[in-house]
Chain A
Amino acid sequence: MEAFKNLVVILLSSVLVNNYVLSRFLGICPFLGVSKKLNQAVGMGVSVTVVMLLATFATWPIQYFVLEPFGLGYLQTIVFILIIASLVQILEIFLKRFSPALHKGLGVYLPLITTNCAVLGVAINNITDGYTFIESVFSSLGCGLGFLLAMVLFSGLRSRIDEMEVPSSFRGVAITLIAASFISLAFMGLAGIVDNLFA
């Protein structure tokens, strides 16, 4: 029960409180770039969640069964980024062959994920936070879902902005960033909630 509680806390805090995009600034590029339409936002969010989970499945055992026993901790960054890049490639080939429909939906977002700092960030943070394998899986699931949530919320906001008369110098990137700050401000209100959920 205690262990389950812990997992729920990890999951919820990475979705809401420590949301990667809105409070840790990881994965800002796709958040701002691919959130114009709802279907794009969902497609990107789902792809990121899947890749985050796969990356954790691959990087956690490698860190603890290969890098650390052989004293190769300093190769962490290089190994992790290569794993993520290969995973994305494999996933793309796999989808193309076995599920063309899914590939059509998600395929365009996959190459973008290789250089998405949120994925590498989750993999590294799971190690630095000292999570167990199960905890890491829950934390990456939470981060992915948090990313998806932020993307979906933000795409709704952006479709409203597109209909507005924005001063010319604010058009484009500037107003998008300022709008993002409102979502981030709203998420700040959730700080402290998760910890006391079971108190």
Chain B
Amino acid sequence: MKKSVKSIVVLVSICAVVSVLLALTNAVTAPIITQNEEKSANAALLEVLPDGGSFEKADITAYTLPATVTDVYLSENGGHVVKLNTTGYSSGMVLMCGINPDGTVSGTKLIASQETPSIGGAAAETYAAAVIGVDVSTAEALDTISGATKTTAAYKNAVRDALNTVIILGGGSVDLRTEEEILADALNEALPAANGAFTKHFFVEVTEGVDAIYFADNGAGAVCVVDTVDGQFIALDDSYTVITACDDTVAVAVKTAVDTVRATTTTALDLTAYAGLPEHLVKAEKTASGNYVMEIKAAGYGITGGDEYHPASGEYIMIRVSVTPDGRVIDCLTLSEEETDGIGSACADETFYGQFDGKTEETYQNIDAISGATLTTDGYKKAILRAFACVKIFEGGNPS
């Protein structure tokens, strides 16, 4: 009994003495550690904003900032350093972006990342040099580095978010919505009765003056986009009468376009009745006004040789294209694709296939290729060329 009491007393007193010793050491070292940490944090901030002087962490709780922003520091000279956490090839890409008082990027630094050093890591280094000096107006124009699309896109978005953050903190407002969100909001605003559910119409008739028609899924009417640049959205109610206030000429054009589209009837063509049609043509229809609507297989990256016909392969890009009898593309749409995600898959974006609208056999080559996906782009172009050839055959001519 006496022995165990002694043991406990010894153990407890050793613990107590050690704790006191630690508390004393801590009292001496803690302020130095805090000071060091502040100094090194300041040094890291100075690296991206060399003229910054000293920094102070900003209170950002009152602002709605881009989701990637984690911290913002204000510098003595009126600049900002924004710390962001974003996702490149893998998650956990942390970077700091310094912004001068005049709104240009002073420097960026990748603090932590899991990117492949030889690909994404190297691209990030190149990119860090490229972004110096850009501002809100030039940030969008930065090129992505091929082979490291995800890393550089993440970097670019982070720089844009940082620039926007500074604008928001300065009292300005920034549209943080994506293009899709902007469109969805505009449609909803023009025709609330549709409850936000729209289907974009695929044009088979030339409708001058109207860029796009979105029909409400619930039959509540339609919204026409008249001028994409200014984003004029004209709504029509369930009896297809124009309800948005606008110029008479615009109202007439919209009404005509919607009526034409609704009145259009198509008849399927019997493909076996024509000789010389390419095997790539899957389906063709002719409208009452004589235009052709075709579904064509385009050979993408997945097809060996770029153009061989493999019926068993599922790797074709299916496209739908409408063409006038004299060989002009009215509308174009990617129905399905199996291309590499993040590279060739861009052929499903309207920014790509929308470029073919209005093109003819002479001009269809003049489009911007998908960066890093030459084969996909070429396959797509060849499919458009085949559509022109098909129309010639349907019209009784000879394909070149």
A residues within 8 Å of B by Cβ? 74-75, 78, 192, 195-196, 199
Contacts and interface: CB of A to CB of B under 8 A. Distances in A.
A74 B89 CA distance: 38
A191 B18 CA distance: 42
Given A74-B26, A192-B116, A199 B18 contact: no
B90 A75 contact: no
B91 A74 contact: no
B19 A195 contact: no
Contacts of B197: none
Contacts of B91: 195
Interface in B341-362: none
A111 B288 CA distance: 89
B154 to A, nearest CB: 13
Nearest to B25: A74
A195 B87 CA distance: 11
Interface residues of B, number: 12
Given A196-B90, A199-B90, 12 more contacts: A74-B23, A74-B25, A74-B26, A74-B30, A75-B19, A78-B18, A78-B19, A78-B22, A192-B114, A192-B116, A195-B114, A199-B89
A196 B30 CA distance: 40
B114 A75 contact: no
Nearest to B18: A78
Nearest to B22: A74
A75 B116 contact: no
Nearest to B114: A195
A195 B90 contact: yes
Given A75-B19, A78-B18, A192 B90 contact: yes
Interface in B178-201: none
A196 B116 CA distance: 12
Contacts of B116: 192
A156 B18 CA distance: 45
Contacts of B89: 196, 199
Interface string B1-35: 00000000000000000110011011000100000
B181 to A, nearest CB: 21
Nearest to B341: A199
B52 to A, nearest CB: 27
B92 to A, nearest CB: 8
Contacts of A75: 19, 22
20 contacts: A74-B22, A74-B23, A74-B25, A74-B26, A74-B30, A75-B19, A75-B22, A78-B18, A78-B19, A78-B22, A192-B90, A192-B114, A192-B116, A195-B90, A195-B91, A195-B114, A196-B89, A196-B90, A199-B89, A199-B90
A101 to B, nearest CB: 30
A152 to B, nearest CB: 28
Contacts of B114: 192, 195
A75 B18 CA distance: 10
